[in-house]
Amino acid sequence: MLSLLKSAFVKELVTNLQHINSLAAEREDENDAFRIFLKNMDSEQVDKHVHELNNSITPKIDCTQCGNCCKSLMINITTTEATALAQQLDMGLPELKEKYIEESYEGQLIMNTIPCHFLTGTSCSIYENRFAECREFPHLHKNNFNGRLFGTLQHYAICPIIFNVVEALKVTVGFKNH
């Protein structure tokens, strides 16, 4: 029965960013209650459901048609990634840092602007060599969803994948009727 609910929900994906943002605002209290509800569930079971939903939903959403994460997230970069990007852009690492990257006193590297310098329209101009944080977002393939739930819900209003996975998860775990 749950797989029927999942497949029915996956067919009705919401991808319009304005609609997602509006629904997210309406569902703030619901999502707070859902976060508490999930904390009382077996974490491994939640991960299993999230992974299944992510595997069903993600291929149906073209991130390059959205680019909203690139417009709104702070991206951490490793020194290795910065060095590779400098080579790709045919510039030295100091020039790259001066132009695109901010470095904390502790040596943490982050993109120095939001939206990302490398966003062209809704697509990444360095897509094949994008940073690990960009490749892995929205992190739904990882274990310990419950441990990351607060952060995931912070991106619920900006990411169609997160929005649809969370909404399908509400149905799958019996929090909400479809």
Lowest pLDDT segment from 3-7, 48-52, 95-99: 3-7
For position 46, what pLDDT does the model report? 97
For position 33, what pLDDT does the model report? 96
What is the Cα–Cα distance from 12 to 15, expressed in whole angstroms?
10
What is the Cα–Cα distance from 122 to 120, expressed in whole angstroms?
6
DSSP annotation of 113 reads S
What is the Cα–Cα distance from 59 to 71, expressed in whole angstroms?
21
- 80-112: per-residue pLDDT in tens? 999 999 999 999 999 999 999 999 889 899 999
Q: What six digits make up the tokens of 169?
A: 């998860």
- φ, ψ of residue 62 to 5 degrees: the values are -90, 105
pLDDT, mean of residues 36-61 = 96
What is the Cα–Cα distance from 140 to 165, expressed in whole angstroms?
9
Residue 52 has pLDDT above 60, yes or no: yes
Shortest CA distance to 71 belongs to which of 134, 28, 148? 134
pLDDT, mean of residues 125-154 = 94
DSSP annotation of 65 reads G
Helix ranges (H only) for the chain are: 2-11, 17-26, 28-39, 43-57, 68-72, 79-88, 93-100, 132-136, 145-154, 160-172
* pTM for the model: 0.87
- Domain layout of the chain by residue ranges: 2-68+138-172, 74-136
Cα dihedral 50, 51, 53, 55 in deg (nearest 10): 160
Residue 11 has pLDDT above 90, yes or no: no
Lowest pLDDT segment from 7-11, 111-115, 155-159: 7-11
